Homo-oligomer: A and B are copies of this chain.
Amino acid sequence: MVQTVSTPAVIVDLDIAERNIRSMAEEARKAGIRHRPHIKSHKSVYFARKQLEAGSTGITCAKLGEAEVMAEAGIDDILIAFPIIGEDKQERLYQLAQKVKVTTVADSVEGATAVSEVGERLGRRIPLYIEVDGGIGRCGRQPGEDTLQFARRIQSLPGIEITGLLSYAGQIYGEESREEIRSTARQEAATLKNTADLLREAGIDIPVVSGGSSLSSKFAGELEGVTEIRAGNYIFHDVGQLSMGMITVDDCALRVITTVVSVPAPGRAIIDAGSKTLTTDTMPFSKGFGYIVEHPDIEIFKLNEEHGFLSYDPASVSLHIGQHLTIIPNHACVLPNLCDEIVGFRGGVPVEKIRIDARGKNS
């Protein structure tokens, strides 16, 4: 039992998080798709294990640093969904791949060659996904012919084995309706499948087609041709998905408990959660810096590092100094990264501390 929670406190409702884990696992199972959750959202061994127990086949990490922490904890099937560039990164990949099964990605000859050199040194081929631009304009080859040509160029590298295509259609978080989200999800899947088929016709085996986000996986049953999804945010959900109408407040597991510390004028109050707790991430379909559960009409209109500025109608809302408020953050994935640990609650009561093992492991 946790005795005291000093605010601002980042907490997680464990019943909600576990329900989110179960329901995503079930959706993936029904759709016949493997789920390799992205641990960037929680960065904790505790939650990674819960995801694996629910049926996830390995995990996804953004960076080597996260993967090193997870491997150290005994998680043995890890995708690093980020290009391995630089000699220091090659050395770290070599060390890691000696311990666990690592798959990674490339979208350049330089990147594929770097991984291949590690494979040669290991004396075996490292599984590699070719990254395909899912429409967000981030990393990735263009779908179709460009990806095929790239596959042909790197195919003969001795230390890699092309085992899949991977994309991230991040633009889905800018779609305005459930139908648009569904359409973008289906389009990402179709583009990936068509490109995979093109490579297969050219004699390049592509067993894995890896796509999807927490949003697109709401339509897991419709993602024809996709064999693996990497949803991460779904474990917590946040204002991003809430303001798009894809979930309800009761699906949001990660919350910040804050205290009103000053009420300097009618309709204005200051809380002890600022940008160093909530981050300055905004969301396209929501005003301000978070959703206050007890008073959704209050706007968090500004943040300083340790202060949050609230505005509200004093005719309908009354706040007093010392009052606790509960905030659903705009973007859950960035909050645990600011903490060494977060507090797990059940039924409104703190029950355990959860270590954020891979906090700050950005390299």
The residues of A with any CB-CB pair to B shorter than 8 Å are 4-9, 40, 62-65, 82-83, 85-86, 88-89, 92, 107-108, 110-111, 133, 137-141, 170, 259-265, 268, 270, 272-277, 279-282, 304-307, 309, 321-322, 333-334, 337-340, 360, 362-363
Contacts and interface: CB of A to CB of B under 8 A. Distances in A.
23 contacts: A5-B88, A6-B65, A8-B363, A40-B306, A62-B305, A63-B306, A82-B261, A82-B272, A83-B321, A85-B260, A85-B261, A108-B321, A110-B321, A137-B268, A139-B264, A140-B262, A272-B362, A275-B334, A276-B334, A276-B337, A277-B362, A337-B338, A338-B360
A322 B85 contact: yes
B322 A110 contact: yes
B272 A363 contact: yes
Contact of A275 (B65, B265, B279, B309): B279
Contact of A304 (B138, B260, B270): B138
A63 B6 CA distance: 11
B360 A89 contact: no
Nearest to A333: B305
Contacts of A89: 6
A339 B360 contact: yes
B279 A279 contact: yes
**Most-contacted residue by chain B among A140, A264, A363 (CB, 10 A):** A363
B137 A83 contact: no
Nearest to A139: B262
B322 A259 contact: no
A262 B6 contact: no
B334 A138 contact: no
Q: Give the top 8 A-B pairs by smallest Cβ distance, nearest first.
A: A6-B363, A139-B262, A62-B306, A83-B261, A110-B321, A85-B261, A280-B280, A6-B88
B7 A86 contact: yes
Contacts of A111: 261-262, 321
A301 to B, nearest CB: 10
A238 to B, nearest CB: 13
A334 B282 CA distance: 17
Nearest to A270: B139
A110 to B, nearest CB: 4
A275 B270 contact: no
Contacts of A108: 262-263, 321
A269 to B, nearest CB: 10
A342 to B, nearest CB: 11
B334 A83 contact: no
Contacts of A83: 261-262, 321
Given A40-B305, A111-B261, 10 more contacts: A6-B64, A82-B261, A110-B321, A138-B262, A139-B264, A274-B362, A275-B279, A276-B337, A279-B280, A306-B362
Nearest to A257: B363
A282 to B, nearest CB: 8
A8 B88 CA distance: 12
A322 B111 CA distance: 9
A272 B9 CA distance: 29
